[in-house]
Every structure is written in C-alpha cells, then in structure tokens.
Amino acid sequence: MKNDLFNIKWDDNSVRQISPLTVAFVGDAVYETFVRVYLVDKHRNMHVHNLHVEAVKFVKAHSQSEIIKKLETKLSEEELYFFKRGRNAKSGTVPKNADVQEYRFATGFETLVGFLYLTGRWDRLNLLFKSVTDLRERGEF
C-alpha cells in the first residue's frame, strides 16, 4: 500500500476485481463527503443539525435512486456497466426507509461514484456532482 492515500489510483480492471458492494462502500463515503462539503460551503453559518437534515435529503436511498434515473442516459458505457453491477448486487439487507428497487438503484449510484473515485476520474466525478446539485436546486429530488 502506498503511503500517500490521496494519490492511490486503480485501473479499471483492478476495480472490476472488487465486489461491487465494496466499491459502493467507497462511493458512499465519497458521496457523503461531497454532500457535506457542498452544504457547508453553501450554508457556512447553518447549525450542524440543520446541515444534517439537508444532507439526508441528498443521501437517502430514494434521492440517490431519483438522481441516477435522471442521469443514467448521460453515462458512458463503462460507467453504466459499474452502475448496473452495483444495482444488481445482492446485499441481503434493505434499509427500513427504502424499498428494494430504490435501494438497489442507490447502491448502483454509489458503485458508480466509487468507481470514478478509485480510478481517479476527477473531471467526470465533478461533472456528476455538479449534475446532482443542479437537480437539487431545481427541486427534482
């Protein structure tokens, strides 16, 4: 393992060897961090509880499912591959506040984010996050 954890970059084949749920595990953390930084930047003086309430609107399975459904047609063939791997993975559990289809689409979204992050596709990841904030600001989730 490299000492510089911020510069680890995997190639596509290496990421393909990882379980899609493990890639989603990374994507979940990356997406949550993005949302928190975005909200703090936008609402610098907001109380932490209110920041949390706003963050939940972005990260809940229903929202992630709606986001990926709106962006699915804009994905490259490779991105679609990773989204579908995550969507089709069987996790064995479903959160109490989401139905199975929403949860699977959300897992696919997180897998896509994890893939983009692990392979160092920063421009594509930024474009995806920009699309998410645009959708939110238009009230589409």
Q: Which residues are annotated as catalytic?
A: 28
Rounded to whole angstroms, the Cα distance separating 34 from 75 reads 20
Determine the straight-line distance between the first and last CA of the chain, rounded to whole angstroms.
39
Output the six-digit token pair for 60: 């809940």
Q: Using an 8 Å Cβ cutoff, are 68 and 108 in contact?
A: yes
Degrees, nearest 5: CA angle 94-95-96: 115
Contacts of 80 (CB under 8 A, 6+ apart): 72
For residues 19 and 92, give the distance between their C-alpha atoms in angstroms, rounded to a whole number: 14
**C-alpha to C-alpha distance for 131 and 68, rounded to whole angstroms:** 10
